[in-house]
Amino acid sequence: MTQTLDYLTTLTNIPSPTGFTYQIMDYLMAELQDLGYAPVRTQKEGVLVTVPGQDDSQHRLLTAHLDTLGAMVRAIKPDGRLKMDLIGGFVYNAIEGENCTIHVSKTGKTISGTILMHQTSVHVYRDAGTAERNQTNMEVRLDEKVTSEDETRALGIEVGDFISFDPRTILTDSGFIKSRHLDDKVSAAILLNLLKTYKENNTTLPYTTHFYFSSNEEIGYGANSSIPSQVTEFLAVDMGAMGDDQQTDEYTVSICVKDGSGPYHFGLRQHLVALAEQEAIPYKLDIYPYYGSDASAAMRAGAEVKHALLGAGIESSHSYERTHIDSVEATENLVDTYLKSPMI
């Protein structure tokens, strides 16, 4: 797991809100090229790498997405602070008090700040604890000497500049991994580590396999195009959602049977279950009620494939997330076992 965790730490510390993924995709292209692969950059900033297999008549495709939640500058307020517009499906409560970075489009520079309620001080605002956390009340306090809109604009900040959140990635001695954007940088780290391992061990997979790192999953249309026509099995490696009525935990791999888009392919799901039981890989079956994946996006776009979804169990998804190394290991083992297995 050492290399997987190293990749994870690197990935979480590269800002990549949806729409601003150039830096992380540049890193990915360079890393894959260094490993000896020939990755291709798609027009919408995805990265696709093809690994030739023993059988080239039918292909597999695996996805993980590298875009994350984030925000954009919506307006510059009269006092020089920033109003935000959210990118991705999360609530303002999840980012209150978070340090952030404004990526200034005009200059290419970055400016740090903190996301706070306007009514922050309990010594001044009677409704500091009860005011709604929404676009009107939440703002970015810049770490610059600004007190007016003109002073903030003089820094180069403009509407449409991207805002990324401090990931605060921590690996504990007890095996927990705490960070923003574990969705879905855990899975991207797993796929990167498998690609590195296969290259180092001269592993030949049974089928030609495409590894697709997408960049628009958080807004619903990541890996729904650039799918080679020979692909018959499509596996999204994403995350398992935890909460009330959920079976997913932080210590097993979660296999999704249904999400907000509907059921996943029964035969491919059962194949994953059989492989997990055969290799004694701990797993849970689960339904994610308010969720969609790159696989479901591909199906909506008309892909003629069998689709499935699995991933590490992520606590507090779309907030300050957490998982355990046991779940990461179980997920990596099942993906590796699947890639070396016969097609259904």
pLDDT per residue as tens digits for the range 147-188: 999 999 999 999 999 999 999 999 999 999 999 999 999 999
The structure's pTM equals 0.97
Helix or strand (DSSP H, E) at 238: strand 231-241
Residue numbers of the domain that contains 48: 2-68+181-339
For residues 61 and 157, membership in a common domain is answered with: no
pLDDT per residue as tens digits for the range 277-306: 999 999 999 999 999 999 999 999 999 999
Q: Which residue shows structure tokens 């790498």?
A: 49
* Within-domain flag for 88: yes
CA-closest candidate to residue 83, choices 111, 54, 118, 130: 118
Residues carrying an active site annotation: 217
Q: What is the mean pLDDT of residues 18-47?
A: 97
Are 69 and 87 in contact by the 8 Å Cβ rule? The answer is: yes
Residues 6+ apart with CB under 8 A from 257: 263, 264, 269, 285, 286, 287
* Within-domain flag for 186: yes
For residues 32 and 158, membership in a common domain is answered with: no
For residues 45 and 146, membership in a common domain is answered with: no
Q: What is the mean pLDDT of residues 55-75?
A: 98
pLDDT tier at 1 (50, 70, 90 boundaries)? Answer: confident
pLDDT at 342 over 90: yes
For residues 109 and 79, membership in a common domain is answered with: yes
Map 148-183 to HEC letters: CHHHHHHCCCCCCCEEEECCCCEECCCCEEEECCHH
pLDDT at 258 over 90: yes
* Within-domain flag for 196: yes
Residue 50: CB atoms within 10 Å: 17
Q: Which residue shows structure tokens 């099942």?
A: 334
Query: How far is it, in rounded angstroms, from Cα 104 to Cα 110?
Result: 6
The DSSP line for 69-110 is -EEEEEEE-TTS-EEEEEESS--GGGGTT-EEEEE-TTTS-E
User: Residue 13's pLDDT is what?
Assistant: 98
* Within-domain flag for 170: no
Domain end call among 165, 196, 220: 165
Mean pLDDT is lowest, of 126-130, 178-182, 322-326, for 126-130
* Within-domain flag for 75: yes
User: Residue 340's pLDDT is what?
Assistant: 98
Q: What's the total number of domains in the chain?
A: 2
Q: What is the mean pLDDT of residues 46-55?
A: 98
User: Residue 135's pLDDT is what?
Assistant: 95
pLDDT at 54 over 90: yes
Write b or e for each residue in 79-107: b if 16 or more Cβ atoms lie within 10 A of its Cβ, otherwise e: ebbbbbebbbebebebbeebebbbbbbee
pLDDT at 94 over 90: yes
